[in-house]
Amino acid sequence: MGIGNDILTDDGIGPRLVQDLKENMPLPGVEYRTTTLGGLDILEFVEGYERVVFIDAIKTRDGVPGSVYEFTTGDFKETLHLSNLHDISFLSAIELGRELEFTIPETIRIFAIEIVEDLVFGETFTPLVQERYESIKNEIHARMREILVP
């Protein structure tokens, strides 16, 4: 699941990676989807799956653009895009889904790509993120294969 807005510069990296992987490097038995939604809406996308991988953008204080971080729900730190100010957080949505007996996957991974800009309108990545795009794609593909392909 690629999360982000593809008209906000680097914020679109999640959806773009998912589309690129789907078209050029598909893994057997993997369903590729994208969304701009977060919070409670995430439950609709995870219910009933055995394993789910989210791909999203992240901005950290001292991060290197193009770095790929991997999180689980156990060590999750909030990102700007997996939450909505008018909704509950990603982690709270997953916990609520479990409490309400939704079929929530035991394996949930979040790949967060360090970006430069996510508040400026634009359909292209910043130069630093664009320069690393192919290596990011290859890294995400390899990690997805380990998690999703039996």
Q: What is the pLDDT of residue 24?
A: 96
Residue identified by tokens 């991060």 is 63
Q: In this structure, what token pair is assigned to residue 44?
A: 């609709």
pLDDT of 57 higher than 90:
yes
Residue identified by tokens 């219910």 is 47
Interval 10-46: pLDDT, tens: 999 999 999 999 999 999 999 999 988 777 778 888 8
Q: Which amino acid is at 27?
A: L
Residues 62 and 9: their CA atoms lie apart, in Å, by 19
Please provide the average confidence, as pLDDT, over all residues in the chain.
Answer: 87
Task: Identify the architecture of domain 2-148 in CATH.
Answer: 3-Layer(aba) Sandwich (3.40)
Is the CB of residue 16 less than 8 Å from the CB of residue 129?
Answer: no
Is the CB of residue 108 less than 8 Å from the CB of residue 46?
Answer: yes
Whole-structure pTM value = 0.85
Number of neighbouring beta carbons within 10 Å of residue 78:
12
What is the mean predicted confidence (pLDDT) over 50-54?
92
Residues 29 and 150: their CA atoms lie apart, in Å, by 10
Q: What is the pLDDT of residue 16?
A: 97
Q: What is the pLDDT of residue 76?
A: 57
Q: What is the pLDDT of residue 32?
A: 96
Residues 130 and 66: their CA atoms lie apart, in Å, by 8
Q: What is the pLDDT of residue 20?
A: 97
Q: How confident is the model at residue 2 (pLDDT cuts 50, 70, 90)?
A: very high
Residues 147 and 85: their CA atoms lie apart, in Å, by 31
